[in-house]
Amino acid sequence: MLKVILKTPFIFLFLGFSGILQAGTMYEGKFILSNNGIDTSYHLKYDLDLSDPTDIKGFVNMTIHPTFRHRDCGGDTKVNGYIKASRIELSSEKMASMFCGPFIDFKGRVEAENFVGTIPWNGKAREVTLEKKN
């Protein structure tokens, strides 16, 4: 019984530490579109593993405000990409909903700890700054 009590804290400590090692780097950005006087804000949260800049993996979460206009849009999807010199490209997999654009593709440049670039949306390049959060 004593062995189980001593091992349990070690297991939780190990699991907590390994979770910290696997956590990605968070980036957030947004762009706003106006339609008939109503602004719609598209919020992006990227969780990226940058340990190999030539093979970036992670997730992007998109939320849209106000949500009543876009109930079926947004959510999480996987991201792949790379950084070469000061250029960065991130491409998402097909999103679950096709109603708000099937992909979130970001192309830009690295500026200090942030990424500055564009995302094509509704046929136009939308300027986005992805700010590092951790």
pLDDT (tens digit per residue) in 54-63: 999 999 988 8
Cβ atoms 25, 52 nearer than 8 A: no
Please state, in angstroms and rounded to a whole number, the distance separating the CA atoms of residues 90 and 95: 14
Q: Which residue has the tokens 């009590």?
A: 5
- The predicted pLDDT at position 9 comes to 44
Q: Which residue has the tokens 């010199």?
A: 85
Q: Which residue has the higher pLDDT, 2 or 31?
A: 31
The CATH number assigned to the domain with range 24-132 reads 2.40.128.120
> 75: pLDDT confidence band, cut at 50, 70 and 90?
confident
- The predicted pLDDT at position 21 comes to 38
Q: Which residue has the higher pLDDT, 126 or 68?
A: 126
Mean pLDDT of 76-83: 92
Q: Which helix (H) or strand (E) holds 4?
A: helix 2-22
In the chain, what are the domain boundaries? 24-132
